[in-house]
């Protein structure tokens, strides 16, 4: 039914057909993907079966991304995740010529500058991974459990502002989801509205 | 302004990509410079206006009245940039206002204008391009002295490639920045209308379908629903729009939250070049399939091939309604005699089953034929509803002849071979065709008795696709046939029927009474439709038919009595189509005060005046309507309560076809009468049950106004 609907919609609206975002489902298998890392090696989601995986969409030009990096909030979350054996994949879907777009060297410089801690920084220049996940904003966060099922998607926390002062006292949805999975539970908030800049996909 | 974090963001966004790494010192310097610059811009100007790098924010206050006033936050982004609606869509951020007001004063939530869509690279944003005025109602301001107000507004402003959060600190004595009432009214006109629009939605296989009843749905060229809550629908998926039975039906991909039960939002309608918006509350419920595509809209998506739960429910209601018809005065005599005929010992189980099957076949065939004719007429553009055939006095006259013939037969005036109504010789060879025609007869005479359960089901039938509508009619027929079907197939039931005896002849004569009552009802309808002349013609024809039947029953000579019968039918067909002037004007069927004839304009006028209004739709051939009108609607206490509360009543008479009323009924999901609506002052329509009670009506008038 949905396939029929989407097919009809694509025929009807050729303008959006090439850019339609598919929304994944909580509790369903997370869409499989393979993307090139900043180091130039292909990385697949299936490489991490058996481990909890965090996907983080980034755009260093976005004020809402800066809020969490300049305050070190994101790096602290990455460090906690790494300590617990969680795989962190940062994904950049900015198309060439658009805000936040980086090549391998740019990604490496960004990681060095912010002292980030992640398994890999993936370059999704054509936006394939982003569209498969329906990623719409930066930062947009996804948590995948050790069986490859999508456990959380949405905002990083419950304060949709660009003010770093709001980080203190905010409820961090990603930390909550990781905590729940570690305790063998399902996250109490499994989906929220991501806030921030729209992802700068290729047109 | 000093702590404003937004300006440096704007600066770094303007830098060439990748340039900001390692230039933090430059950023800090620019932060200080820009802050100073911003202060320079803001300080000399009045604090009611802030010009930020990407948007201008201005505060305007409406005139004060009893410590209350409306304040407008006028936001004007740079050309090509936009600010965000309350629900920003798949990206973006809601605008936040923090007020500092005099003691005792309070500011309500922001009221947003109707937003626009801004789709960039497949990501849907709900935005305002160009100037938008966010309105805030304030109350409790001091009666004397200054209205000092300070506002910190945090908002996001974006173009198609970058986003900049900005902040504006404004402060003013509201008395100094007063604008005209007209200006505020103009801003207010950009807000979505609050007409209490409601609709239903259903989520199935990740597709959300919503239906909104609205007048003039056919004139809509495009529509879009902006949800206020997140997770109900997928912002990035297109919304397909269609019209089905006076309803706007929207279809799009569902969001991540399948448990949502209510979706508040704003519906934006495009009619030609104009766009209007209205607040809309969608509740979980039954939704018809997608209908005809809009003139300029996207073609509708594939409609569901399998029966949806809503169709199953409508089928169930139709079945129940058909079952209920069996106890109506017009059907009950036929059913009971038919049932007793089976009990008359002689019928073998096989014969009983075959009787039941042919009776059912007769009913279903007739109902489907009527339903098919109804759909064909509607497809041809005619505005007709269920029991539409009763709007033609010639059909009423024909039914009168039929019912009179049945009644006379039951009363024992005549006997005819082949008509096994009475059950005589039911198990004989003519049983099958006799059973079929008895079924057909039951279906035809049942139509004036459209019961209360059938309104919703038949309403659903008319907004469904052809095959789905036929499923509803099938349900109706099966329901009508069900009791006899059960008797035919369950021997235990047959054995429970009383033993045959001389009492059966007495019962038959007794059962002629409800049949005569049905005839009386039809005579009255005929009189209302075609005046006294029509009434006399109808009754005269019935009399002539009685003579012919009696004559025919005497056997022997066939030609003359047949000719007499034919003459009766011809006379009945001569019933005038329209009553004489004035015959139909007297619509005083119920005793309610302040009644007037229904029209959309009259209703709109009363609602605009804020007068509580009771609207009902009736037809003379609608028995449920008459029961309500003679009962609850004529109740002395109800009349008094309506009088006391100043309730005005509008009556829509559907005895004869009236396209305006047919449309209005359809917009409330009904294919026929009765329909009862109550509009409290300033409130939306409340649908009342089809069986009214005096207590309920009195309670309505006692409710506090919601205006």
The pLDDT value recorded for residue A105 is 93
Which superfamily does CATH assign the domain made up of B595-702 to?
Glutaredoxin (3.40.30.10)
- What span, in angstroms and rounded, lies between the C-alpha atoms of B156 and B330? 69
Position B636 scores a pLDDT of 84
Q: What is the pLDDT of residue A78?
A: 96
pLDDT of residue B682: 76
Nearest CA-CA distance, residue A135 and chain B, Å: 9
Mean pLDDT of chain B: 77
pLDDT band at A48 (very low <50, low <70, confident <90, very high): very high
For chains A and B, CB pairs below 8 A equal 161
| B122 closest CB neighbour out of A16, A62, A190 | A16
Nearest to B17 among A62, A99, A193 (CB): A99
| Banded model confidence at residue B19, pLDDT cuts 50, 70, 90 | very low
Q: Is B635 on the interface with A (CB under 8 A)?
A: no
- List all residues 6 or more positions away from A146 whose beta carbon is below 8 Å from its beta carbon: A49, A50, A51, A52, A181
Q: What is the average pLDDT across B456-473?
A: 66
**Alpha-helix runs per DSSP H in A13-150:** 14-17, 63-70, 73-83, 104-114, 128-133
Instruction: Report the relative pairing of strands B116-120 and B148-158 from DSSP bridges.
Output: unpaired
The CATH number of the domain holding residue A141 is 3.40.30.10
Q: Where are the alpha helices (DSSP H) in A13-51?
A: 14-17
DSSP strand pairing (A150-154 vs A140-144): antiparallel
- ipTM given for this complex: 0.80
B224's enclosing H/E stretch is strand B222-227
Q: Is the per-residue pLDDT at B281 higher than 70?
A: yes
The per-residue pLDDT for B114 is 94
Instruction: Taking residues A153-180, report their average pLDDT.
Output: 94
Point out which residues pair with B89 in neighbouring strands: B125
Q: What is the pLDDT of residue A196?
A: 92
What is the phi-psi region of residue B544: left when phi exceeds 0, alpha when psi lies from -120 to 50, beta otherwise? alpha
Domain assignment present for A14? no
Q: What is the pLDDT of residues B475-532, one digit of tens each?
A: 888 988 888 888 888 877 777 777 767 777 788 888 888 888 888 888 887 887 777 8
User: Is A4 inside any structural domain?
Assistant: no
Q: What global pTM score does this model have? A: 0.51
Give the least confident one: A17-26, B391-400, B546-555. A17-26
Asked whether residue A6 is domain-assigned, the answer is no
Between these two residues, B549 and B78, which has the higher pLDDT value? Answer: B78
Q: Which residue has the tokens 């292909």?
A: A42
Q: What is the pLDDT of residue A130?
A: 95
- Asked whether B630 and B637 are in contact (CB, 8 A), the reply is no
Structure confidence at residue B77 (pLDDT) = 94
Rounded distance, CA B692 to CA B615, Å? 13
Examine the pLDDT at A170 and tell me if it is beyond 70: yes
* Confidence class for position B272, pLDDT limits 50, 70, 90: low
Closest Cα of chain A to B128: distance in Å? 16
Residue B64 contacts by C-beta under 8 Å, 6 or more apart in sequence?
Answer: B141, B147, B174, B175, B178
Q: Per mean pLDDT, which range of A68-77, B147-156, B420-429 is the poorest? A: B420-429
Structure tokens at B197: 């629009």
User: Which carries the bigger pLDDT value, residue B10 or residue B416?
Assistant: B416
Task: Look at chain A and report how many structural domains it folds into.
Answer: 1
Tell me if A21 and B205 make a contact (CB, 8 A cut-off).
Answer: no
Tokens of A48: 């991490």
CA–CA distance, B318 with A34 (Å, rounded to integer): 54
Q: Is the pLDDT of residue A83 over 90?
A: yes
- The answer to the question of residue A163 being in a domain is yes
pLDDT at site B384? 53
Q: Where are the domains of chain B?
A: 1-44, 47-177, 193-293, 309-573, 595-702
Partner A contacted by B5 (CB < 8 A): yes
Cβ neighbourhood burial of B2 (10 Å; 0-12, 13-18, 19+): exposed
- The token duo for A2 is 């949905």
Tokens 């009245």 belong to residue: B65
Chain A residues with beta carbon closer than 8 angstroms to that of B91: 136-137, 194-199
The pLDDT of residue B103 is above 60 = yes
Q: Is the pLDDT of residue A106 over 60?
A: yes
- The structure tokens 């539970």 sit at A185
Please determine, for residue B58, whether its predicted confidence score (pLDDT) is greater than 60. Answer: yes
Classify residue B275 by burial, with Cβ atoms within 10 Å: 0-12, 13-18, 19+.
Answer: middle
The structural architecture, per CATH, of the domain B47-177 is: Sandwich (2.60)
Confidence of residue B213 (pLDDT cuts 50, 70, 90): confident
Give mean pLDDT, residues B19-48: 51
Q: Is position A8 within any domain?
A: no
Nearest CA in chain A to B162: A99
Query: Which residues in chain A have their CB less than 8 angstroms from residue B122's CB?
Result: 16, 18-21, 131, 201
Q: How many CB atoms lie within 10 A of CB A156?
A: 27
A132 and B CB contact within 8 Å:
no
Q: Which chain B positions have a beta carbon within 8 Å of A190's beta carbon?
A: 256
pLDDT of residue A183: 94
Domain boundaries, position A183: 21-198
Rg (CA), chain A: 16
Where does the pLDDT of residue B385 fall: very low under 50, low under 70, confident under 90, or very high at 90 and above?
low
B204 — contact with chain A (CB < 8 Å)? yes
Contact call for B6 and A162, based on CB within 8 A: yes
Within 13 A of B571's CA, how many CA atoms are on the CB side?
21
Distance from CA of B7 to the nearest CA of A (A): 11
- Over its C-alpha atoms, chain B yields an Rg (Å, rounded) of 34
pLDDT (tens digit per residue) in A122-145: 999 999 999 999 999 999 999 999
Distance, in angstroms, between A94 CA and closest chain B CA?
A: 10
Residue A4 has pLDDT above 50, yes or no: no
What sign does the CA torsion over B626, B628, B634, B639 have? negative
B537/A117 Cα distance (integer angstroms): 96
pLDDT of residue B657: 67
Residue A48 lies in a domain: yes
**B704: DSSP letter:** P
Confidence class of residue A173 from pLDDT cuts 50, 70 and 90? very high
* Record: contact A198-B298, CB cut-off 8 A: no
DSSP conformation class of B581: T
Q: Pick the residue from chain B with its C-alpha nearest to A101.
A: B17
| Window from B117-131, B278-292, B370-384 with minimum mean pLDDT | B370-384
The answer to whether position A119 is within a domain reads yes
Percent of chain B with pLDDT over 70: 77
| Ranges B34-38, B282-286, B591-595, most confident | B282-286
| Interface subset of B 238-257, CB within 8 angstroms of A | 238, 240, 251, 253, 255-257
Q: Which two tokens stand for residue B154?
A: 């945090």
Same fold, B47-177 and B193-293: yes
3-state secondary structure of B49: strand
Structure token digits, residue B450 = 């459209």
* Cβ within 8 Å of residue B588, ≥6 positions away: B595
Give kind and range of the element (H or E) at residue B439. helix B431-446
A68–chain B Cβ distance below 8 A for any pair: no
Q: Find the CB nearest B120 among A13, A106, A198.
A: A198
B122 and A197 within 8 Å at the Cβ level: the answer is: no
- Whose tokens are 């169709």? That residue is B311
Contacts of B235 in chain A (CB under 8 A): 136
Q: Looking at residue A90, what is its pLDDT?
A: 97
pLDDT at A9: 36
Which range has the worst mean pLDDT, B191-200, B556-565, B652-661?
Answer: B556-565
Instruction: For chain B, say whether A128 makes contact (Cβ under 8 Å).
Output: no
- 3-state SS of B170-218? EEEEHHHHECCHHHHHHHHCCCCEEEEEEEEEEEECCEEEEEEECCCHH
B341 — phi, psi (to 5°)? -60, -35
Give the CATH fold of the B193-293 domain.
Immunoglobulin-like (2.60.40)
Q: How confident is the model at residue B463 (pLDDT cuts 50, 70, 90)?
A: low
CA–CA separation, B343 and B349 (whole Å): 11
Confidence of residue B30 (pLDDT cuts 50, 70, 90): low
Nearest CA in chain A to B157: A197
Give me the pLDDT at residue A177, please: 96
Give the mean pLDDT of A160-164: 91
């Amino acid at each position: 039914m949905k396939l029929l609907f989407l097919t009809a919609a694509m025929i009807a609206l050729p303008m959006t057909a090439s850019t339609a975002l598919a929304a994944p489902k909580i509790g369903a298998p997370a869409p499989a993907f393979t993307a090139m890392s900043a180091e130039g090696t292909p990385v697949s989601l299936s490489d991490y079966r058996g481990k909890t995986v965090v996907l983080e969409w980034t755009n260093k030009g976005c004020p809402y991304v800066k809020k969490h990096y300049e305050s070190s909030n994101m790096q602290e979350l990455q460090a906690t995740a790494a300590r617990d054996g969680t795989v962190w994949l940062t994904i950049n879907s900015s198309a060439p010529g658009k805000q936040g777009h980086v090549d391998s060297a740019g990604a490496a410089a960004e990681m060095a500058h912010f002292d980030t801690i992640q398994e890999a920084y993936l370059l999704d220049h054509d936006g394939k991974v982003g569209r498969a996940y329906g990623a719409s904003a930066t930062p947009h966060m996804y948590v995948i459990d050790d069986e490859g099922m999508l456990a959380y998607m949405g905002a990083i926390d419950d304060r949709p502002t660009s003010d770093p002062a709001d980080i203190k006292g905010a409820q961090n949805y990603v930390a909550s989801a990781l905590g729940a999975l570690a305790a063998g539970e399902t996250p109490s908030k499994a989906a929220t509205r991501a806030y921030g800049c729209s992802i700068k996909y290729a047109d | 302004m000093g702590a404003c974090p937004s300006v440096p963001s704007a600066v770094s966004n303007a830098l060439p990509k990748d340039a900001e790494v390692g230039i933090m010192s430059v950023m800090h310097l620019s932060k200080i410079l820009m802050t100073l610059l911003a202060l320079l811009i803001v300080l000399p100007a009045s604090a009611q206006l802030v010009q930020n790098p990407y948007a201008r924010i201005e505060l305007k206050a409406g005139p004060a009245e009893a410590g209350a006033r409306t304040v407008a936050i006028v936001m004007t982004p740079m050309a090509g940039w936009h600010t965000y609606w309350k629900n920003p869509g798949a990206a973006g951020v809601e605008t936040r206002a923090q007020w500092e007001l005099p003691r005792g004063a309070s500011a309500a939530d922001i009221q947003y204008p109707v937003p626009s869509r801004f789709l960039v690279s497949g990501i849907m944003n709900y935005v305002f391009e160009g100037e938008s005025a966010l309105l805030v109602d304030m109350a409790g301001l001091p009666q004397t002295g200054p209205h000092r107000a300070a506002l910190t507004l945090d908002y996001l402003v974006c173009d198609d490639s970058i986003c900049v959060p900005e902040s504006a600190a404004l402060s003013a004595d509201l008395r100094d920045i007063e604008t005209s009432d007209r200006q505020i009214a103009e801003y207010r006109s950009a807000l979505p209308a609050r007409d209490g629009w409601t609709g239903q939605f259903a989520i199935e296989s990740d597709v959300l379908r919503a239906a909104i009843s609205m007048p003039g749905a056919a004139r809509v060229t495009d529509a879009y629903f902006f949800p206020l809550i997140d997770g109900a629908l997928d912002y990035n998926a297109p919304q397909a729009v269609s019209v089905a039975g006076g309803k706007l039906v929207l279809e799009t991909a569902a969001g991540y939250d399948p448990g949502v039960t209510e979706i508040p939002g704003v519906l934006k309608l495009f009619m030609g070049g104009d766009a209007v918006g209205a607040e809309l509350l969608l509740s979980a419920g039954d939704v018809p399939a997608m209908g005809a595509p809009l003139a300029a809209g996207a073609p509708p998506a594939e409609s569901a091939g399998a029966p949806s739960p809503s169709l199953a429910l409508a089928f169930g209601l139709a079945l129940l309604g058909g079952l209920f018809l069996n106890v109506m005065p017009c059907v009950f005599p036929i059913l009971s005699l038919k049932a007793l005929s089976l009990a008359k010992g002689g019928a073998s189980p096989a014969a009983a089953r075959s009787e039941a099957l042919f009776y059912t076949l007769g009913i279903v065939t007739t109902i489907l034929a009527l339903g098919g004719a109804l759909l064909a007429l509607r497809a041809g553009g005619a505005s007709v509803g269920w029991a539409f055939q009763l709007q033609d006095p010639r059909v009423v006259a024909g039914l009168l002849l039929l019912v009179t013939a049945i009644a006379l037969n039951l009363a024992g005036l005549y006997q005819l071979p082949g008509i096994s109504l009475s059950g005589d010789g039911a198990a004989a060879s003519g049983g099958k065709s006799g059973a079929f025609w008895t079924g057909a007869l039951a279906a035809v005479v049942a139509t004036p008795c459209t019961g209360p359960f059938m309104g919703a089901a038949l309403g659903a039938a008319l907004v469904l696709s052809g095959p789905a509508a036929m499923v509803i009619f099938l349900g109706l027929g099966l329901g009508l046939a069900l009791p006899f079907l059960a008797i035919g197939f369950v021997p235990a039931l047959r054995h429970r029927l009383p033993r045959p005896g001389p009492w059966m002849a007495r019962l038959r004569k007794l059962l002629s009474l409800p049949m005569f009552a049905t005839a009386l009802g039809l005579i009255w309808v005929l009189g209302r439709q075609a005046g006294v002349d029509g009434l006399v013609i109808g009754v005269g024809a019935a009399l002539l038919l009685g003579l012919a039947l009696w004559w025919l029953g005497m056997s022997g000579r066939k030609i003359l009595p047949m000719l007499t019968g034919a003459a009766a039918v011809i006379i009945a067909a001569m019933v005038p189509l329209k009553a004489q002037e004035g015959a139909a004007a007297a619509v005083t069927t119920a005793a309610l005060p302040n009644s007037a004839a229904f029209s959309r304009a009259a209703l709109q006028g009363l609602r605009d005046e804020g007068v509580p209004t009771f609207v009902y739709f009736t037809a003379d051939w609608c028995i449920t309507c008459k029961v309500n009108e003679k009962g609850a609607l004529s109740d002395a206490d109800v009349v008094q309560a309506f009088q006391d509360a100043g309730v005005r009543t509008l009556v829509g008479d559907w005895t004869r076809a009236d396209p305006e009323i047919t449309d209005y009924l359809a917009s409330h999901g009904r294919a026929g009468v009765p329909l009862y609506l109550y509009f409290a002052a300033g409130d939306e329509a409340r649908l009342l049950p089809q069986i009214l009670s005096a207590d309920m009506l009195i309670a309505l008038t006692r409710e506090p106004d919601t205006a």
